[in-house]
A and B are shown apart, each in its own frame.
Chain A
């Protein structure tokens, strides 16, 4: 079974509008971390935002916010006021386990976001 699911292979959004990128995850570990990364066409991986499983509030970083619904095991990324430079691949990732510090990340397949002028 896939640990991280991103059901939207591609998304379009008009410049200046908000967009939500979906991510659902699967884990039985009570302690885990959820991350979003952006990969522009140049190829580098850029960290965007983090949400811990015990965090009471949804994470926010500038125009990025994470809609964390723990019971539904979803961690959707919301980008407000989209800009042309937001066009990129977006990956959701999870790290499991408070006992397994340093464990690797599991990545989803990604969503390609295209911002239209």
Chain B
């Protein structure tokens, strides 16, 4: 059973370009979460999605950032017109349909975005 997959593992973009990060949840998991980790800091929640629905985007910057989790295919985190401050590690996590409050989230290996 493959774990959470993220690609690419490393992404380099120049200022003003678009960054597209992909996340395939574990098999059977319908909940996806995106987190951002700045250097030497903890993870900060960005957005929580289920298939075709954004459940909570309270951690998403208001501009340039968007996320989707379509019926088919991976979840996508899109950052338009990237700036140097977007350089960070972006982690995706998934969980099964939540029926109890101790469900663990399984994390992917992360995508390290560097903006030149």
Contacts and interface: CB of A to CB of B under 8 A. Distances in A.
Interface in B62-116: 89, 91, 93, 95, 98-107, 109-110, 112
Contacts of A105: 33, 35, 43, 45, 93, 105
Given A102-B95, A103-B56, A33 B102 contact: yes
A46 B50 CA distance: 23
B59 interface: yes
Interface residues of A, number: 27
Contacts of B103: 101-102
A14 interface: no
A33 B101 CA distance: 7
A50 B91 contact: no
Interface of A: 4, 31-33, 35, 37, 43-45, 47, 50, 52, 91, 93, 95, 97-98, 101-110
Given A45-B91, A45-B110, A102-B103, 14 more contacts: A32-B101, A33-B101, A33-B102, A43-B112, A44-B107, A44-B109, A44-B110, A47-B104, A47-B106, A93-B43, A101-B100, A101-B101, A103-B48, A107-B42
B114 to A, nearest CB: 14
